[in-house]
A and B are shown apart, each in its own frame.
Chain A
């Protein structure tokens, strides 16, 4: 673990670009070769992205149940979907979950990254390994770990609180508290990845900027807010984008943690699609829900792209 700064990072840092020169005229191999290089990716992309995308839309207009010939029924699935309280509840929960988890996934890993890169703390190499460890753990085991800690009758937290005469707290049977547990587990499991992103970004801030700020008398929080944070903007954008998408597709951890419970209170969108499509065999209806989720993600992506452009200006 000693001096673990990275060879790969160093080598991957963009080299000063050589002066532009005119490319030689395109030769035959230079059309054929790239075509061969991307062929496998194109085929796989078409098979597992374009085809399901197109068919997903067609299924969403049909009553397909996974066998036989789908019969086109127009927009019935969508009308049904918009009258389905379970769908609204899943959608609302997903937004609430994303809205709460994105700030957590931003602030906590950034704080840890700052602590791990500052000269004002000791033992950082070991600490970094500990913070990193949850990355190794699968979402299923992550869910199991927190289910074990937050068991209502046997869990460590309720035992701990009972020492102070509190509880038992209903971590599993109260929908809001169950969501809190999901947020904690998700943040714990997602910290390492985001933290490494921030560490790399913090290391890339030229020391001279920070020194100049120090000479101007800006230290601590002020220096962080006026110098560091603006320089982290590209990473911030990436983190917000990735955690939003990650939150929108959260599935495995919740399956193991509380199965979307209590009842169906914490069923998020992907789980809702899974349940209607695979447990109830209603592929057409689930595809309609997929199309709605896809639409939402496209809108989110477009909004975030706009913000990114503003940041650059």
Chain B
């Protein structure tokens, strides 16, 4: 793709890069400011948060908000709960999506087409729309107030299935036929040949799935009741929902909740920034 960018002959004089660069960096400042202001505020002592005139940088740097947030809330527990949900759901999402996508791409049967149409329908109709009855289903299955109650309903995402379906369509059928001629079973062909081939897709979907689950709100809100089971977002919401918001705690707690995603971003930035977004990535 980068090849389409090289060596474009531009006729006449070279246009200036100044206006474009200035515009770009003004927008960068606009986009960076909210988060920057938020993070800097989290290092201000409570007295300085509301004292006028406001200053961008804290006059006295402090981590007291962080200490208060960390001691008042069981962050270790929230991190563990959210981590379990995000990792387990992601692993299952990648597995189920790759198998389903593969079947839809490489086999032909009327019932596969029917199921594909069903999956298509789920993208148009988000489950938020039927949440009262989905809640009843989760409760009747005995999943209420448990982490599996958040994990299991989130495994199948149409996006994941699409991504793998698109990907496996580009894998030549000859590969599959060669495996068949060699007498390799269908299931083994998938796990030992096809799935390893699809690793780039698997990584992309894993990153997206992890972000969705780390930041998920609506299902944990409905399903979880016991504060020991709370995920980060639900715990944060309990601070936001308080009658009198303790901003210094809330700011710090919010920043703490961002850290894992930031670390993930730094590790996977190349994959994330270049993910094949044409597959319609959105949960």
Contacts and interface: CB of A to CB of B under 8 A. Distances in A.
A134 B201 CA distance: 23
A211 B11 CA distance: 10
B166 A12 contact: yes
What secondary structure prevails in chain A residues at the interface with B?
Answer: helix
Nearest to B104: A38
Nearest to A44: B156
Interface stretch (B25-33, B64-72, B73-81): B25-33
Interface residues of A, number: 123
Interface string A133-161: 11111111101111111000110100100
Contacts of B167: 12
Nearest to B186: A33
A75 interface: no
B1 A197 contact: no
Contacts, number: 351
Interface stretch (A50-58, A83-91, A169-177, A223-231): A50-58
Given A130-B28, A135-B211, A290 B131 contact: yes
B9 A123 contact: no
B226 to A, nearest CB: 16
Given A44-B152, A149-B37, 12 more contacts: A4-B274, A8-B203, A9-B275, A23-B173, A29-B186, A41-B100, A44-B155, A115-B23, A123-B21, A148-B37, A277-B135, A297-B129
30 contacts: A8-B276, A12-B200, A21-B173, A29-B185, A34-B106, A45-B118, A45-B119, A47-B141, A53-B130, A55-B137, A56-B130, A115-B24, A121-B23, A127-B25, A130-B28, A131-B28, A140-B217, A141-B254, A143-B240, A148-B41, A196-B273, A204-B4, A235-B278, A242-B282, A251-B217, A255-B217, A278-B222, A287-B130, A287-B133, A294-B129
Top 5 nearest A-B pairs (CB, nearest first) are: A6-B274, A33-B186, A138-B215, A121-B20, A56-B133
Interface of B: 1-2, 4-5, 8-11, 15-17, 19-21, 23-25, 27-28, 31-32, 34-35, 37-38, 41, 49-50, 52-54, 96-97, 99-100, 102-104, 106-109, 112, 115, 118-119, 122-137, 141, 152-153, 155-156, 161, 166-167, 169-170, 172-174, 177, 180, 185-187, 190, 200-201, 203-204, 211, 214-215, 217-218, 222, 232-233, 236-237, 240-241, 247, 250-251, 254, 257-258, 261-262, 264-265, 269-282
